Structure formats: C-alpha cells, structure tokens
Chain A
Amino acid sequence: MSESTIQIALVLPDLLGTYGDFGNAVVLEKRMKWRGVKAEIVPINYGQPVPDSCDIYVVGGGEDTAQTLAVKHLREHPGLQRAVTKNAVVLGVCAGIQIFGESFTRADNVTHPGMGLIDSSSHAGGSRAIGEVVAEPINGLFAGPLIGFENHQGRTTLGPAARPLANVKVGTGNDGSVEGAVQGRIVCTYLHGPVLPRNPALADMLIEWATGTKVAPIDLPAVAAMRAERVRAAS
C-alpha cells in the first residue's frame, strides 16, 4: 500500500458541506503529504456514482433536506457500504452520525431509514445543541481532549455493536454524556470546527488505520495554541 496513492473520498460535498467539513479531507491529505505519503482528495458529487475503491471516506454535515437526499443517493449507489466491507476507513460528521445509523427521526416525527453502517438510531432532541464541546476519548483511543463545535437537533443512542468515542465534559454530544461512535474502522462525531483540524491526534489515528503504519506527531504551534485556547474558552 505504501507505493500507491491514498485516496480520500469527499462524499457529497455539495450536499453535506455546509459546515466547512471539507477541511477534514484537507487535513488528512496534508498530514500524509507532509510525511511523504502520497494522498489525493476525490470529490464525489450529488448525481455521481460512489466508488468503493477509496481508502478513506469523509462525510460532512448538511441541512435536513440535503441530508435526506444524501442518504437516498448513498443507498442507491452503495459504494461506501461496499468499501466498509473491504475495511475502508470512514469519518462521519454530524449528519454522518445520523445517516450511518439504522434510522433517524426528524422533528416532524418522520423516521428515515439510515445506511445501517453503525449500530445506532437518532431522533430529534428538545432543543438545538449549539456550542463548544470538550470530551475525553474513551480508553485512550487517541490523545485528548476531543474538542469541537456542535450545532445539531438530533440525539443519538448507540446499540451494543457501537462504542462511544468520548465522554462529554462540556456540551451535549450524542445525549449529554457521551459523544460520537466507533464501530470497526468507522468513526462518527457531532463535532465541527472542523473536527480534524481541531484534533490532529484523531486525524493521525485515521491515517494510521488507512496506511497500516505508525506515524510520528507533527509539531504545529498554531494547532497547539488553538487547542489550548478553545479548551480554556469552553471551561
């Protein structure tokens, strides 16, 4: 795999790109490139078939109607689901956590089928969760804290096959106590910021999963300063 180019599929950026989540793909690409690993971003737009051959899939947040269209498209063109059976690495943000689950129920009480990739279901919460989040990764999965900005109506309940990503210290996350989900090589989170620029250790964990190689940290002073500032601002 070291000789080939790591392909990062940016899934439906035209529908699920509302919150700058394109940045997640950029961070993965640059952190591989800076370490001499060839990587490229492959945008998959609405109306195009979804390939099953990419190494990493990045799915962002979107508005309600866009989310419904996205899940319809991804069910009609099940390249992402096939890629998961071939061990692809997947990051789902915000809408991602909802559409990857078994089902999601909107504020209008209509339940939509999800993609069934993770053992979870989502429903509309009472109030919209908006603000900075600080959470501690569970079992030291990656170096914490996990930080980000949440802006969502949905609440998510995990089944036994999915594990939460982190314990919430500040903010709401899935349900007020835990945040995100991990199942196999799929990672989901409600956090924007975007999440990978905010959390380089999480980005590197996904890179290690995709390349099968341990990577050394990269010293980026701006990132360290920003993380310290955000944690201070949230607490």
Chain B
Amino acid sequence: MNDSPARLPLRTAAAVKLGNLSSTLSQKMGLGAGGMIGGRVALKLDPQALNRLTQGRRVAVVTGTNGKTTSTMMLARAVGALGEVATNHSGANMPDGHVTALSKQPDAPYAVLECDEAYFPAVAGASNPSVAVILNLSRDQLDRVGEVRTIERSLRDAVNKLQNCTIIANCDDVMVTSAAWNAPKVVWVATGTGWHHDSASCPRCGNPIRWQGEHWHCTGCDLARPHPNWITADEAMITPEHQKLELRLTLPGKFNQANAVMASAAAHAMGVPADEAVRRLRSVSNVSGRYRTIQRNGRSARLLLSKNPAGWSETLTVVKEANHPAVLVINANEADGRDLSWLWDVPFERLQGRTVIASGERATDLAVRLTYAEVQHSIVPDPLKAIDQMPQGAVEVIANYTAFRDLNARAAADE
C-alpha cells in the first residue's frame, strides 16, 4: 500500500501516546473497556486529533439509527481483503471512540468508523471519508438525539459538503434518500426494510409521500425512490453487474441481510469485489455479544439487542419463528433515552399467548404496556433471575441498550 498514514505531528503523537496510556490504565484498573477514555484524553490534548489520525488513510463512516455496529463490523471484515483496518468496536461511536480506535492501529491504511448520527457532520468533516454509509433513519432517543427530521437535515448538509466521497444510501428509506439526494456521488441500495412511520410527509416540502408497493414518491416535489444499484433479494443480493450472490449469513433476520448488502456496496466502493466482500462478511456471528447464546441452569438464552421501535419491530419478527419464552429487558438511562413513550410504538401484541417476563430497571413501565397489549406476564427486574425462572430449554432475551450491555457483561463474567 502506498497510501500509508501520514506521520503524525508531535502534538498529536504525544496526545495519542497519553491517550493509549489512559486506555490501558482504565482497563487495568477495571474502570472500563478502554474504548473511549483514551480518545477523550487525546482529544482534550489535541482537538484536531481525529483529522490528523485519519490523514493518509482511506476512511469509511457508517451511520444510521439501527444496524451501525453490525454493518461496521461487516464492512471492516470485507475491507480486510485490502489491508489492515482500524475500526471502533462495541458501540464507542463518538469522536473519542474514533480517536481511540485510530490510535491503537496507527499504521492501518484503512479505517471503518461507526458513527452516532448526531456526530456524523463533525466526524465526516474531520475525517474526509471516501465512503459514507447511511443505513436508515427512524425515531430513537427523542430526548437526547432529537427528532428524525432534524437529524436528516444535518446529515443532508454534511453529505453535500463532502468532496470525493461515495454515499451508500438506503433508497427504501425516505429520510435517507432525502439526506443523500443532492450528494455528488451516490450508490443506492434497495434494502427491502423500512419503518414508514416517520415519513408520511416529505422531509423536503411537507407534502404527503405516496407508496405503491416498493415504490414511493412525494406528491409535492421531485423526491422519489431512486433506481437502486444494489438490490436485497430473499437471502441474496443483486449487484450493479446483475450478478446474484447468495448471502448465507450467520446472523438472523431481514435487517441483517440489509446490513450485509449495504456493507457489500460500501466495500465494493472501496475496491473489494462483491463476491469476496460477501464471503468475508458472512463470518460475522457475534456482534459485541449480540445474537450469542448463553447457557444457564438448563436454559439456553439467546441475547438480542433492540433500542427503538423499528429495532424492536424487526426483532419481534425474528423471535416469532419459534414460540420460545421471552424475557424483555428495559432500562431508561441517559444512553437509552429517559422517555419510555416509545414502548407504545412497539407491537408487543405479537407476543400474546407466550410466556413473557418483564425485566430491567423499568420493568413496571414495560408491564403496563404488556397489560394493555393483553400479553400475560410476570415481573422479575433482574434479567438473569428472569432467565432462571423460565422453563428449561430455549429462551429469547431482548434488551435495550444499557440493559443489554450490563446483562452481556454479567453473563460474560459468569462464563
């Protein structure tokens, strides 16, 4: 590779060194996973650290409401075909997480960065990406992130400013399409997934959006579903060269097929042949503990993460296939969003007739929702105890962000 990263200025190099030291200390002292603290220290010492650390590398930034972590891991795995890839894991998806990841692999010529939607303009501005992936946009953490249309607006402005960047955009999502509509270079991907509840009206002119099958158009302006370059078919994808490739993913669900096709299109834009991209990303099986199964006292519990109505709706579809008992775990810490109104946007009615336990710090709020959904349930706030109270055999555990993080850490400690 001739485009190896540029030498770091002294200030950045020192900041990176001190940052890495803090990460190591944080891990050694058992304070945290070290995913963010190092970057936080480095950014304090050198606010330009992100810009300097990405110079000379080819960067892809992945954003959207759902599927960021999985798609980032898939894309990093695929781009690994070209050389070493620096990437941020486990959802440390703000600038401090990016700086930490880049500092740890200073010589990697490629970087694949998962980015919180609210930070995308700053991160894209600083890192001069050659590829930006926008997966989907739907309501999530309204009290922290803000409303979907505000996010769409800020992504739109950011994307239009990017030079020499290919945008990989989901054309089955009205908000994403609007964000990427005027970008100089866009690759459109039909993902077949869509949460339409936030796009009854056009984000550009306010007139109603009309749907006809998979096609949609605005009744007031020229915004309409673009012709896709990549298509997600059933368990397969169709490339711009009309080649049909089987996905055969390890991960379940339609939304992971969508993530895989988005990641393949992005990898392709970075120079990885489509068939090689799919072959490599297929092996992703455990995304920061998601989808893994833990064994406890004769129960095998599959851990699933869902953070918002669109995510829960998809996950309830995945768990529908088998009628296993379900433990639902809800917290409402700052990272989850403190307002739980969104529970009423989730179709919990689909769980009628199942054995269900409401769990988590906000188990009673969930229990109220289940009561009105006429889903029989009991309340056990501790999710591990909830699993133990289920009949022996397979159990599905669906948890939101901090609930999942805490449960996953406790389960890992038990193993």
Please list the residues of chain A having a beta carbon within 8 angstroms of any beta carbon in chain B. 14-15, 17-23, 26-27, 30, 45-47, 63-66, 68-69, 130-132, 149, 151, 192-194, 197, 220, 222-223, 225-226, 229
CA of A23 to CA of B344, assembled, Å: 5
Instruction: Check if B344 sits within 8 Å of A18, measured CB to CB.
Output: no
Instruction: Check if A17 sits within 8 Å of B364, measured CB to CB.
Output: no
Instruction: Check if A226 sits within 8 Å of B367, measured CB to CB.
Output: yes
Given A45-B200, A66-B201, A151-B142, A192 and B341 touching (CB < 8 A)? yes
CA of A15 to CA of B338, assembled, Å: 22
Given A63-B149, A65-B149, A151-B339, A26 and B372 touching (CB < 8 A)? yes
Q: Chain B interface mostly helix, strand, loop or mixed? A: helix
Instruction: Check if A223 sits within 8 Å of B341, measured CB to CB.
Output: no
Which residues of chain B are near A197, meaning CB under 8 Å?
A: 344, 368-369, 372
- In the A-B complex, the 4 residue pairs with the smallest Cβ-Cβ separation, listed nearest first, are A23-B344, A14-B200, A20-B341, A20-B344
B126 to chain A, nearest CB (A): 27
Instruction: Check if B371 sits within 8 Å of A223, measured CB to CB.
Output: yes
Q: Is B186 engaged at the interface, CB distance under 8 Å to the other chain?
A: no
Which residues of chain B are near A66, meaning CB under 8 Å?
A: 149, 201
Known pairs A46-B200, A222-B368 / 6 extra A-B pairs, C-beta < 8 Å? A19-B341, A20-B341, A20-B342, A149-B341, A194-B341, A222-B370
A31 to chain B, nearest CB (A): 9
Interface 0/1 of B119-139, CB less than 8 Å to A: 000000000000000000001
Q: Is B236 engaged at the interface, CB distance under 8 Å to the other chain?
A: no
Number of B interface residues in the complex (CB < 8 A)? 32
Q: Which residue of A lies closest to B144 (CB)?
A: A130
Which residues of chain B are near A192, meaning CB under 8 Å?
A: 339, 341
Instruction: Check if A23 sits within 8 Å of B364, measured CB to CB.
Output: no
Which residues of chain B are near A27, meaning CB under 8 Å?
A: 372
CA of A45 to CA of B199, assembled, Å: 12
Q: Chain A interface mostly helix, strand, loop or mixed? A: mixed
Please list the residues of chain B having a beta carbon within 8 angstroms of any beta carbon in chain A. 139, 142-143, 147-150, 197-198, 200-201, 203, 206, 208, 338-345, 364-365, 367-372, 374, 379
A220 to chain B, nearest CB (A): 6
Instruction: Check if B206 sits within 8 Å of A23, measured CB to CB.
Output: no
Which residues of chain A are near B150, meaning CB under 8 Å?
A: 63
Q: Which residue of A lies closest to B341 (CB)?
A: A20
A170 to chain B, nearest CB (A): 14
Instruction: Check if A130 sits within 8 Å of B200, measured CB to CB.
Output: no
Instruction: Check if B344 sits within 8 Å of A63, measured CB to CB.
Output: no
A45 to chain B, nearest CB (A): 7
Instruction: Check if B147 sits within 8 Å of A18, measured CB to CB.
Output: yes
Given A63-B148, A151-B142, A20 and B201 touching (CB < 8 A)? no
Instruction: Check if A18 sits within 8 Å of B142, measured CB to CB.
Output: yes
CA of A220 to CA of B149, assembled, Å: 37
B45 to chain A, nearest CB (A): 32
Instruction: Check if B372 sits within 8 Å of A151, measured CB to CB.
Output: no
Instruction: Check if A130 sits within 8 Å of B143, measured CB to CB.
Output: yes
CA of A151 to CA of B141, assembled, Å: 11
Instruction: Check if B364 sits within 8 Å of A229, measured CB to CB.
Output: yes
Which residues of chain A are near B139, meaning CB under 8 Å?
A: 18
Instruction: Check if B201 sits within 8 Å of A69, measured CB to CB.
Output: yes
CA of A185 to CA of B149, assembled, Å: 33
Which residues of chain A are near B203, meaning CB under 8 Å?
A: 65
B82 to chain A, nearest CB (A): 41
Given A26-B372, A192-B339, A194-B341, A14 and B197 touching (CB < 8 A)? yes
Q: Which residue of A lies closest to B374 (CB)?
A: A30
Q: Which residue in A14, A26, A64, A193 is a CB contact (below 8 Å) of B341?
A: A193
Instruction: Check if B365 sits within 8 Å of A226, measured CB to CB.
Output: yes
Which residues of chain B are near A17, meaning CB under 8 Å?
A: 197, 345
Given A46-B208, A68-B206, A226-B365, A151 and B200 touching (CB < 8 A)? no
Which residues of chain A are near B340, meaning CB under 8 Å?
A: 149, 193
Given A14-B200, A151-B142, A21 and B341 touching (CB < 8 A)? yes
Q: Which residue in B149, B198, B341 is a CB contact (below 8 Å) of A23?
A: B341
B326 to chain A, nearest CB (A): 17
Which residues of chain B are near A46, meaning CB under 8 Å?
A: 200-201, 208
Instruction: Check if B371 sits within 8 Å of A26, measured CB to CB.
Output: no
Instruction: Check if A194 sits within 8 Å of B344, measured CB to CB.
Output: yes
CA of A229 to CA of B369, assembled, Å: 15
Q: Which residue of B lies closest to A26 (CB)?
A: B372
Q: Which residue of A lies closest to B203 (CB)?
A: A65
Instruction: Check if B148 sits within 8 Å of A222, measured CB to CB.
Output: no
Which residues of chain B are near A229, meaning CB under 8 Å?
A: 364
Instruction: Check if B142 sits within 8 Å of A222, measured CB to CB.
Output: no
- Residue from the set A21, A66, A222 with the largest chain B CB neighbour count within 10 Å: A222
CA of A17 to CA of B341, assembled, Å: 11
CA of A110 to CA of B41, assembled, Å: 43
Q: Which residue of B lies closest to A22 (CB)?
A: B344
6 contacts between A and B (CB under 8 A): A20-B345, A23-B372, A65-B201, A149-B340, A192-B341, A226-B364
- Residue from the set B367, B368, B371 with the largest chain A CB neighbour count within 10 Å: B368
Which residues of chain B are near A130, meaning CB under 8 Å?
A: 143, 338
Instruction: Check if A26 sits within 8 Å of B344, measured CB to CB.
Output: yes
Which residues of chain A are near B364, meaning CB under 8 Å?
A: 222, 225-226, 229
Instruction: Check if A149 sits within 8 Å of B338, measured CB to CB.
Output: yes
CA of A47 to CA of B341, assembled, Å: 26
Which residues of chain A are near B200, meaning CB under 8 Å?
A: 14-15, 45-46
- Residue from the set A45, A63, A69 with the largest chain B CB neighbour count within 10 Å: A63
